[in-house]
Amino acid sequence: MGGRTGWTPLHLLARDERGRAIGALPAYAKSHSRGEYVFDHAFAEAYHRAGERYYPKLQVSVPFTPATGRRLLVPAGPEAEAIRAGLVVGLEGLRQRIDASSLHATFLTLRDRDTFLGQGFLERNDQQFHFEAAAYRDFQDFLENLASRRRKVLKRERRDALASGIAVEWLTGSDLREAHWDSFFEFYTETGSRKWGTPYLTRAFFSEIGRAMPEKILLIMAKRAGRYIAGALNFIGGNTLYGRNWGAIEHHPFLHFELCYYQAIDFALSRGLARVEAGAQGEHKLARGYRPVKTISVHRFADPRFQRAVADYLIRERAHVDAMQEELETLTPFRNP
């Protein structure tokens, strides 16, 4: 990664006095704001209006991956907090070295958030929609916890999605073949070209993940009349199924919901996983049993004027996100307790 992608790796490594690695932090110099899923276009525009340069900025994240996880990679131990804080201090030194306008760390755990906030970063909140699989024994148990009207709608959607003679396959591990990736890449480019203009993943990428981590991949494929027509790519974590990419070459009502949401739920429940994270955004997921979950990012600006202005703005934005979450929770399809 780097070069023309606009993601230049500048990862930080902390070492002890003997030269052993004791901590790490994934960081990138960015020349744009794409592939982050925490939208800072308003910040960039404000810099532009003030006649200032927003890029490069320094980004702590996993590219193209809107999943909460550890960013300060430090093993447990009595010195862990000092090492974590030291990495954040080192990040500021790196920012100065490349003359970046700002520092950003996205999709943080609570512990990482607290470390960054202790170094003067500003918290920003957004939301995703996750399915809490640990609450149910199986798909039928999930259905029985829905309000009657919503349960009927969900069952109808699933029937209609497969009504044209469509069969669904779960492919993982040794089941994955190059022919499956050929088909999925066709779906991905067809749908991605219509939605985003230029899909960023290459055909070689799918072969590589299929070779490197087949047991961590779930490819949900739909087949009609002997050929694959749609698919959804998921990654299997320690206790979470992460939905990532979807595509189709035929349109069938509710097939997207079936492959991306209902089949993901079914798989997670069958494997004893705790949750399904179906990617960024999408209030339509609420009606399919996914609940609103707060996500966390942190930001710090070199220019104190922007730091103060953004701090004021984020107070109001966080209040709006909290209010929105409360409202969205009332729209979930579950029975009243």
Start-end of H helices in 22-147: 41-49, 80-98, 110-117, 139-144
pLDDT of 4 above 90: no
Mean pLDDT, to the nearest integer, of 188-214?
86
Give first-to-last CA distance, the chain, whole Å.
49
The per-residue pLDDT for range 277-290, each reduced to its tens digit, is 988 778 899 999 99
Q: What is the pLDDT of residue 283?
A: 87
Of 80-94, 205-219, 277-291, the range with the lowest mean pLDDT is: 277-291
Helix (H) or strand (E) holding 240: strand 240-248
Check: CB of residue 217 under 8 Å from CB of residue 234.
Answer: yes
Q: What is the pLDDT of residue 279?
A: 82
Q: What is the pLDDT of residue 337?
A: 63
Q: Name the pLDDT band for 196 (thresholds 50, 70, 90).
A: low
Start-end of H helices in the chain: 41-49, 80-98, 110-117, 139-144, 148-161, 178-196, 203-212, 255-257, 263-271, 304-329
Mean pLDDT, to the nearest integer, of 195-204?
78
Q: Name the pLDDT band for 336 (thresholds 50, 70, 90).
A: confident
> What does DSSP assign to residue 261?
I
Mean pLDDT, to the nearest integer, of 294-306?
97
Query: Which has more pLDDT, 279 or 124?
Result: 124
User: Which residues are CB-neighbours of 270 under 8 A, at least 6 positions away?
Assistant: 138
Cα–Cα dist 15/83, whole Å: 9
Mean pLDDT, to the nearest integer, of 94-108?
98
Proportion of the chain above pLDDT 90, given as a percent? 90
Q: Name the pLDDT band for 207 (thresholds 50, 70, 90).
A: very high
Q: What is the pLDDT of residue 112?
A: 98
Q: What is the pLDDT of residue 5?
A: 82
Q: Name the pLDDT band for 3 (thresholds 50, 70, 90).
A: low
Strand 240-248, strand 275-280: pairing: parallel
Q: What is the pLDDT of residue 191?
A: 83
> What does DSSP assign to residue 97?
H
Residue by residue, DSSP assigns 45-65 as HHHHHTT----SEEEES-TT-
pLDDT of 44 above 90: yes
Cα–Cα dist 287/185, whole Å: 29
Mean pLDDT, to the nearest integer, of 241-249?
95
3-state secondary structure of 171: strand
The per-residue pLDDT for range 136-157, each reduced to its tens digit, is 999 999 999 999 999 999 999 9
Mean pLDDT across the chain: 94
Of 172, 262, 238, whose CA–CA distance to 210 is shortest? 172
Q: Name the pLDDT band for 80 (thresholds 50, 70, 90).
A: very high
pLDDT of 48 above 70: yes
Of 316, 333, 305, 330, whose CA–CA distance to 43 is shortest? 305
3-state secondary structure of 160: helix
Q: Name the pLDDT band for 106 (thresholds 50, 70, 90).
A: very high
